């Protein structure tokens, strides 16, 4: 008998994946967690029925949410990831030699533990001595750490349920205060095709707080619409003005110096959302 995972994140549309095996399925304190092995995308983390990451295409998301801010900041030493319990953002952050400490703040410890077991390619850097793991509320953590981080990355699930508070003005104000005087933040900010009003709202919330705010895009096959937005807010540095000739070569599969520039060139319908 064939098994199919049907993701109903967007009302009126669905994405389906043929499942070879369910590796783990459990109710955590916060959400329904599953890791399944699929025909096309390999092992896949699914939270509350929504695909979070897969072995085959995770590199796009994790490289773009990290290397854009880290190469915009001239000397990032201390980085915070809110969410991101799979560990992919930490893996990419620790490719930067200037980083002395990367803190992972994940509310659901089961996500971390199960990803270590079943997604080791993604979670492989969580045992690095430069990585500090804090299991708890990211909103509260940010409030309690002022003027501490050079870069803050909000690697959250979608803006429903436990992640809803990670999208919006109050949280972004606390992020601003948790950053150093030249700090940078970036967040995944959803699909402009299916959720344009969400993209518009979170971008405007960030723009009301940060002197420099930009939207950039990446093509991620397993995310609804296949074309995903990220919002970057900076106290000082403009990510579109980075001298890409000085970006050192990293072991990446998607991010390049050319992509760093190109990802900020937006189609007209997305320009209209954020103008």
Catalytic residues: 155
Query: Beta-carbon neighbour count of residue 91 at 10 Å?
Result: 24
What residues form the annotated binding site for S-methyl-5'-thioadenosine?
31, 106, 137-138
* Contacts for 59 with CB less than 8 Å, ≥ 6 apart: 252, 253, 254
Q: Which residues are annotated as a binding site?
A: 31, 62, 86, 106, 137-138, 155-158
Q: Residues near 162 by Cβ (< 8 Å), separated by ≥ 6?
A: 30, 31, 107, 108
Q: How far is CA 54 from CA 43, 220, 224, 227, 252, in A?
A: 6, 10, 14, 16, 16
What is the rounded distance in angstroms from the CA atom of residue 91 to the CA atom of residue 131? 9
Distance CA 213, CA 7 (A): 31
Strand partners for 5: 17
Helix (H, G, I), strand (E, B) or coil at 184: strand
Query: Which residues are annotated binding-site positions for spermidine?
Result: 62, 86, 155-158
State how beta strands 212-219 and 179-188 pair.
unpaired
Residue 247 DSSP one-character state: P
């Amino acid at each position: 008998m064939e098994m199919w995972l049907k993701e109903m994140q967007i009302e009126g549309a669905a994405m389906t994946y043929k499942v070879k095996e369910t590796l783990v399925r459990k109710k955590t304190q916060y959400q329904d967690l599953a890791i399944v092995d699929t025909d096309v995308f390999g092992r896949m983390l699914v939270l509350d029925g929504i695909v979070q990451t897969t072995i085959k295409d995770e590199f796009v998301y994790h490289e773009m949410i990290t290397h854009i801010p880290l190469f915009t900041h001239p000397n990032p030493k201390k980085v915070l990831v809110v969410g991101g319990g799979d560990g992919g953002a930490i893996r990419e952050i620790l490719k930067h030699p200037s980083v002395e400490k990367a803190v992972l703040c994940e509310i659901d410890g089961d996500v971390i533990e199960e990803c270590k077991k079943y997604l080791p390619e993604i979670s492989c850097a969580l045992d690095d001595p430069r990585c500090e793991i804090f299991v708890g509320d990211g909103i509260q953590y940010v409030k309690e750490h002022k003027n501490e981080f050079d870069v803050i990355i909000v690697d959250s699930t979608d803006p429903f349920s436990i992640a809803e508070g990670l999208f919006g003005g109050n949280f972004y104000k606390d992020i601003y205060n948790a950053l150093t005087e030249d700090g940078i933040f970036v967040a995944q900010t959803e699909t402009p095709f299916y959720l344009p009003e969400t993209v518009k709202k979170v971008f405007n919330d960030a723009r009301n707080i940060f002197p420099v705010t930009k939207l950039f895009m990446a093509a991620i096959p397993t995310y609804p619409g296949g074309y995903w937005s990220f919002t970057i807010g900076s106290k000082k540095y403009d990510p579109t003005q980075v001298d890409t000739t000085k970006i050192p070569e990293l072991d990446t599969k998607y991010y390049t110096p050319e992509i760093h520039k190109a990802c900020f060139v937006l189609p007209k319908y997305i320009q209209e959302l954020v103008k």
